[in-house]
């Protein structure tokens, strides 16, 4: 593992970057994929970076989907109940893959935070409460819309400390920025436009391209929802590093 320690700037490919506060750690794309496999999470191939605070009590994974400019004209019609149903169904396919690898299942409990869209920052947020191997976990999802695609930021944290962690996580998101020419506001006529909107982005993104927005009952056939399970792996990893 090649760790970068803040204060510094973590490079998220040629699309974006994130400024690291003092003591925070960053891993690049290759090492993030290694971390996901080590924590029993199938890699997506879209991983660009991993960020964790000095306490190592939570972490954020950044992934990028270059599907194109996502129009936000659905922002006033997000159906949380329909989307949760599709996420649960899709997650069953994810659990089949976990079982094949001998990994514990991830069970979706429900919304920790229903989907909401900020039309000032162009950020889409929602949070799923789940359980894996007897331990609760929250995946707090943020989608940052860009000119050519969507940056996915997944916060993984114990539900018991979510409210305490949120200010620090928000600071990480505030320290994220698309590089010049890649920003949502820099969209130009003729740019690639994504074949889906905000609703499909929540339940599958690019995998839902063939499905019309609103046809949630069919999405589970096309997608595997790749939840990231929290474990003690990170603290053990850093303990070994410190000892060495």
Q: What number is the average pLDDT over the span 192-205?
A: 81
pLDDT per residue as tens digits for the range 2-47: 899 999 999 999 999 999 999 999 999 999 988 887 777 767 788 9
DSSP string, the chain: ---EESSEEEEETTTEEEEEPTT-EEE-HHHHHHHHHHTT----S-EEEEEE-TT-S-EEEEEEE---BPP-TTTT---HHHHHHHHHHHHHHHHHHHHHTTPPPEEEEEEEEEEEEETTTTEEEEEEEEEETTEEEEEEEEEEEBSSSEEEEEEEE-GGGHHHHHHHHHHHHHTEEEPTT-BGGG--TTS-B-SS-HHHHHHTGGGGTTS-TT-GGGGGGT---------SHHHHHHHHHHH-
Q: What is the pLDDT of residue 244?
A: 42
Q: Is the pLDDT of residue 243 over 90?
A: no
Q: What is the pLDDT of residue 224?
A: 34
Q: What number is the average pLDDT over the span 224-235?
A: 51
Q: What is the pLDDT of residue 139?
A: 83
Q: What is the pLDDT of residue 76?
A: 85
In angstroms, the CA 101 to CA 231 distance is 17
Q: Which of 196, 240, 224, 229 is nearest to 72 (CA)?
A: 196
Distances (CA, A) of 54 to 58, 82, 243: 10, 38, 16
pLDDT per residue as tens digits for the range 67-113: 899 999 888 888 888 888 888 877 777 788 778 888 888 888 899 99
Query: How confident is residue 208, by pLDDT bands cut at 50, 70 and 90?
Result: very low
Q: What is the pLDDT of residue 215?
A: 32
The whole domain housing 78 covers: 4-243
Q: Is the pLDDT of residue 228 over 60?
A: no
Q: What is the pLDDT of residue 239?
A: 60
Q: Considering its fold, how many domains does the chain have in total?
A: 1
Q: What is the pLDDT of residue 24?
A: 95
pLDDT per residue as tens digits for the range 126-166: 988 888 878 787 888 899 999 999 999 988 888 888 899 99
Q: What is the pTM of this model?
A: 0.81
Q: What is the pLDDT of residue 43?
A: 75
Higher-pLDDT residue of 239 and 28 is 28
pLDDT per residue as tens digits for the range 46-75: 899 999 998 888 889 999 999 899 999 888
Q: Is the pLDDT of residue 217 over 70?
A: no
Q: Is the pLDDT of residue 183 over 90?
A: yes
Query: What's 50's domain CATH number?
Result: 3.40.1000.10
């Amino acid at each position: 593992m090649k760790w970068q320690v803040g204060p510094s700037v973590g490079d998220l490919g040629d699309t974006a970057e994130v400024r690291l506060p003092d003591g925070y750690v960053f891993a690049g794309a290759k090492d993030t994929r290694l971390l996901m496999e080590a924590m029993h999470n199938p890699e997506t191939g879209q991983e660009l970076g991993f960020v964790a605070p000095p306490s190592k009590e939570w972490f954020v994974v950044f992934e990028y989907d270059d599907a194109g400019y996502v129009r936000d004209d659905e922002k006033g019609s997000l159906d949380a109940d329909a989307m949760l149903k599709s996420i649960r169904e899709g997650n069953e396919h994810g659990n089949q893959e976990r079982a094949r690898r001998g990994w514990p299942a991830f069970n979706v409990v429900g919304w920790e935070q229903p989907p909401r869209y900020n039309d000032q920052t162009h950020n889409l947020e929602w949070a799923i409460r789940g359980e894996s191997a007897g331990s609760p976990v929250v995946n707090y999802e943020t989608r940052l819309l860009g000119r050519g695609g969507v940056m996915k930021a997944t916060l993984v944290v114990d539900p018991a400390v979510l409210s305490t962690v949120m200010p620090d996580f928000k600071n990480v998101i505030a320290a994220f920025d698309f590089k010049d020419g890649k920003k949502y506001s820099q969209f130009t006529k003729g740019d690639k436009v994504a074949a889906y909107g905000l609703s499909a982005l929540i339940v599958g993104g690019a995998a839902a391209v063939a499905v019309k927005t609103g046809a949630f009952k069919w999405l589970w056939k096309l997608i595997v929802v790749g939840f990231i399970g929290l474990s003690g792996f990170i603290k053990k990893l850093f303990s070994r590093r410190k000892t060495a």
